[in-house]
Structure formats: C-alpha cells, structure tokens
Structure 1
Amino acid sequence: MTMTPIAWIVLMSLAGGLLSVLVASGVSYAARPHWVPVLISYAIGALLGAAFLEVLPHAIEAAESPEKAAMNILAGILLFFVLEKLVLWRHCHDEGCAGHEPHSHGHGHGGHEHGRSGLLILVGDTFHNFVDGVLIAAAFVESTPLGIVTALAIIAHEIPQELGDFLILLHSGYSRGKALAFNLLSSLATLVGGILAYFALSEMQQLVPVFLALAAASMIYVAVADLIPGLHRRTELRATAQQVLLIAAGIASIVFAHPLAERALG
C-alpha cells in the first residue's frame, strides 16, 4: 500500500527528532560526568556554528529583507534576555536572593547560574525543530523522494547541534534522564511543524523567517551571554588552548554537516 504524504511527514518527523536526539544523547552518555564542563567548549562551537553557518543565512534568505531579518534576530536576543530575567526573578522570588545573582565558582553547576541556560536552549531548539517540520512537509508535498532526502539530511545536520544542547543541559544541572526527556519533548515540535505545514503550508512558510531568527538568537545568546563567560574563569594557558580547540571542533562538526543542511534547507 502506497503511503500518503501526511503519513510520510508524520513518520519522518518522528524518526528525525528521535534519531538525532538518541544519537546525540548516546554520545553524551559515553562521556564521563567530569568531562561535561570541559565539553561545554565543544557545545559553544556547535551552537555558534549552527547559528552563523546554518540558521542565520537561511533566516536572512527567507526574510523580506536583510534588515527585517536583523530586526527579528535583535528582537529575539532581547526576548531571551527578558526570559532569562524572568527565570532569575522567579528563583529569587521563590528562594530569596541577597540583592544579587549568586556566583558559583565550581564546575559542577547544579546551581542556578547556568541552570537557566538549559531552559533557554530548549526554547530555541523547539523553534528550530518546528522549522525542520515545516521543511520536511514542504519537501514531501513536492515529492516523496525529495521528502526522504530532506528528512535524512535534517537528521544528519541536527546530530552535532543536539549533542551540544544535551551537554548544556547536563552542565545546567539536569540529570541524564531529564535531559533526554526534555530533548525528546522538544523534538516533537518537528512533528507539530510538519502536520501544521501540511494543512496550512503557505501560512507556515510565512512564519519560517521569524522562527529561524528566534532559533539563531537563542543559540547566540546562550553561547555568548551564558556559556563563554564561564570559560574565562580558567585563565591558564593549557585550559585556554583546550577551550579554543574544542570550540573549533564544535564549529567543524557543523561545517562537516553543512552540505547536508544546504540540501535540506536550500
């Protein structure tokens, strides 16, 4: 029996989200707990690589003009700043703060200084996954072979970014089980985007530039505002060299997957 386009969209959206998250979490599970703070440098590289090499160019291309894309990204950065303030305000309201944000000097951040970055990365990842679902639906509406190639390409280029996200969640104090559960929940946005796009493709495609801009804004904000400052606590030359190499490795993993992303998103 021949599968209908909507059946393919549901199948590949679910498979895409699950496979990329499970592969990334499997690699993360193999890492020893004390490696996670060190591997945050890799996560920073993966986030910045995904933002600047994959998401931003497509956000600009999909927008009415580069200026409109830039405005959306700036609005997204401001949105994530406000969201982070709300998370901090809630923490201070519930537990009390002595007029300032407490600073943790250790590396096993179960504390709140990095805990908020986990929430922000999940929000941004949800936007990105939703857009992936829209792209999968658009491809399957065109043809089944194009849809399959697009879905496989999206799975491949999502893996390094999902690995970075998973490491950030672990670094933010989430248990491995919670990190996996939240990443899987976020991946369901691919299915939502795919189904909505199938029934209202033109309307969903109009929202793609905004969702891409918000996804890029979240990646840049979390990497630059939340994670990079933590690296500066270790100033010795060996630690700095290690950080630079791991950031470069994170960017390189995105570069390696970039041709697949171009095929999927182009």
Structure 2
Amino acid sequence: MTYFLSLSPVLQALIGTLFTWFVTALGAAMVFLFKKINRTVLDMMLGFAAGVMIAASFWSLLNPAIAMAESSGMTPWVPAVVGFLGGGIFLFAIDKILPHLHNGFDMSEAEGIKTSWQRSVLLVLAITLHNIPEGLAVGVAFGAVAANLPEATIGAAIALALGIGIQNFPEGAAVSIPLRREGFSRTKAFLYGQASGIVEPIAGVIGAFLVIKMQTLLPYALSFAAGAMIFVVVEELIPESQREKNTDLATLGAMAGFALMMLLDVALG
C-alpha cells in the first residue's frame, strides 16, 4: 500500500482501472461455469450496477466537485451543472454515433450509425460504451488527489475504483454468457466479455493526465464524469433492468448497489 501511495496519480489511475478491467474479466469467466444467465438474476445485477453508479456520481464526483469549486472561489453550482450536462451530452453524442446493441434486443433495434457488423461485436460495444465514463471517473478521482485539496483523497479514489470494480463483475458475465448462448465457444465468449472492459484503463489514464495538467478544470471534470455515468444509468441500465417486469427485484438491487457505494465512499473517503 505504501508503494502504491508513492506512485504518480496517473499510475495510480492505471492500476485502479486495471483492477476494474480485471473484475470485468472475472465476471466474463463465469461463462466457463454457466451457459445461460437467469433473467431475474440479470435484472438484479443491472439494478445493482445502476445503484453503484448513481451513488458514485454524487458521493465520489459531484459532491467533491462542488466543495472544490467553493474552496477555489468559484460559484459552486456552475462547474457542477456545466460539467454534469456536458458529460451527458458527450455520452448522448457517442450513443448516436457508435454502433451497438443492448442485450436481449433484436438486430433491428441496434443503435448508432448503421453497420454490417456482427451481433456479437455490437453487444460488446454496448457494454464498452458505458465503461468509458466508469474508467474516466476513476482516472479523474485519482488525478484530483494531485491537486492537494482536502475534498480529494486517495481513500475516496480507491473507494470509487472498488465500487466500479464490484459492479463490473456482473457486467462481464452479462456479455460473455449471452454470447455463449448464441453459439460462441466458451473461450471466445470470455475473450469478448473481458474486452468490453479494456477501455477503462485507457479512459482512466486520459482522465488522470488531463486533470493534472489542467487543475482549474477539475470540478468540471469530476462533474463531467458524473453526468456521463448518470446518462448510462437512465438511458440503459434502469430501462433494461425493468424490461422483463422484475421491477421490485431490480429496484432492490439498485438500493443495495447505492448503499454499498455510499458505504465505501464514506468509510474510505
């Protein structure tokens, strides 16, 4: 742990997001044990992921962004609102451009630019799309520590990485197991599933590097990551978790995810 604390924030962000990617791979490895995933269980896991991301958006990103803006003499709500909306608009634009398909949907319901890409590729890209803000959030959180502001602590950044990592486990399974059901070998389904998380270390390093170089933009960057994550939750995770009418269980999953992320952030931050 002492060695980890001595590293630069960019390297800390890399390690943190490599951890979240590794947990995605662990989830994808469930394809070696199961050929299908129970829809009720999947809806609970999707709700859990949504709860973690909602809690992380406030406790780990928006709340410190507002505190940082206030301590820096800014109007506290401006960076929070501008960054939050910017993150949502950014994900909205990517959602309209990047071809992708959500699990359980027909090919005719694929989103983004029309393409002849295979269904398997579109399924992986759907998860990859919402892994971008997750990696960015972890990277920005570690990069914020370099600003030496009391609102940005290494404990809070580690808590965020842990929370994102935990909810990545079901996400990895939610990619690889459906691919197995579509006829992929277990190994190929696993490789596709873990590949959906590789974007997180990339986004994490970029996020940490940018906030270190432009510390005045830090409150905006934290809020940007929060907005991007909330867009994913509202546009994808919640609707998909409610699609098969398992509404109560999906909601309980979201409550559990929120509570766990809140606990991690308050206890470690």
- If the length of structure 1 is used for normalisation, what is the TM-score? 0.68
Residue 183 of structure 1, aligned match among 182, 197, 201? 197
Partner Cα distance (2:217, 2:230) in 1: 20
CA shift digits 1:234-264 (9 cap, x unpaired): 23xxx22211211111111102201245x3x
Residue 223 of structure 2, aligned match among 213, 217, 223? 213
Code of the residue aligned with 1:41 in structure 2: it is G
Code of the residue aligned with 1:177 in structure 2: it is L
> CA shift at 1:205, angstroms?
1.7
Partner Cα distance (1:6, 1:110) in 2: 41
Partner Cα distance (2:160, 2:124) in 1: 26
Partner Cα distance (2:95, 2:235) in 1: 10
> CA shift at 1:215, angstroms?
1.1
When the two chains are superposed, the root-mean-square deviation of aligned CA atoms in Å is: 3.8
Q: Can you give the 5+ residue segments of structure 1 that lack an aligned partner in the other structure?
A: 97-108
CA shift digits 1:131-167 (9 cap, x unpaired): 133134446xx9xxx9xxx546533432222232453
Task: Find the counterpart in structure 1 of residue 78 from structure 2.
Answer: 67
Distance of aligned partners of 1:215 and 1:7 in 2 relative to their CA distance in 1, 3 Å threshold: closer
Q: Mapping of 1:9-158 within 5 angstroms? A: 9=9, 12-23=12-23, 25-26=25-26, 29=29, 32=34, 33-35=36-38, 37-38=42-43, 39-63=45-69, 64-65=74-75, 66-88=77-99, 92-95=113-116, 112=122, 117-138=126-147, 150-151=153-154, 154-158=157-161
Moved more, 244-253 or 24-33: 24-33
CA shift digits 1:189-232 (9 cap, x unpaired): 545555676xxx4x432232222122111211111111222233
Does the CA-based 8 Å contact 1:9-1:136 persist in structure 2? yes
Does the CA-based 8 Å contact 2:87-2:228 persist in structure 1? yes
Partner Cα distance (1:67, 1:7) in 2: 32
Q: Can you give the 5+ residue segments of structure 2 that lack an aligned partner in the other structure?
A: 100-109, 180-188
What is the number of residues matched between the two proteins?
233
Does the CA-based 8 Å contact 1:45-1:249 persist in structure 2? yes
Distance of aligned partners of 1:126 and 1:157 in 2 relative to their CA distance in 1, 3 Å threshold: closer
Task: Find the counterpart in structure 2 of residue 243 from structure 1.
Answer: 250
> CA shift at 1:43, angstroms?
1.0
Partner Cα distance (1:225, 1:56) in 2: 19
CA shift digits 1:107-144 (9 cap, x unpaired): xx9585x65542331221232132133134446xx9xx
Distance of aligned partners of 1:40 and 1:29 in 2 relative to their CA distance in 1, 3 Å threshold: farther
Task: Find the counterpart in structure 2 of residue 258 from structure 1.
Answer: 265
Distance of aligned partners of 1:111 and 1:231 in 2 relative to their CA distance in 1, 3 Å threshold: farther
Percent of residue pairs bearing the same amino acid type: 23
> CA shift at 1:77, angstroms?
1.3
Does the CA-based 8 Å contact 1:48-1:251 persist in structure 2? yes
Structure showing the higher helix proportion among its residues: 1
> CA shift at 1:14, angstroms?
4.2
Partner Cα distance (1:95, 1:184) in 2: 23
Stretches (4+) displaced over 6 A: none
**Structure 2 residue 214 is the aligned partner of structure 1 residue 204:** yes
Residue 174 of structure 2, aligned match among 168, 171, 175? 171
> CA shift at 1:176, angstroms?
3.6
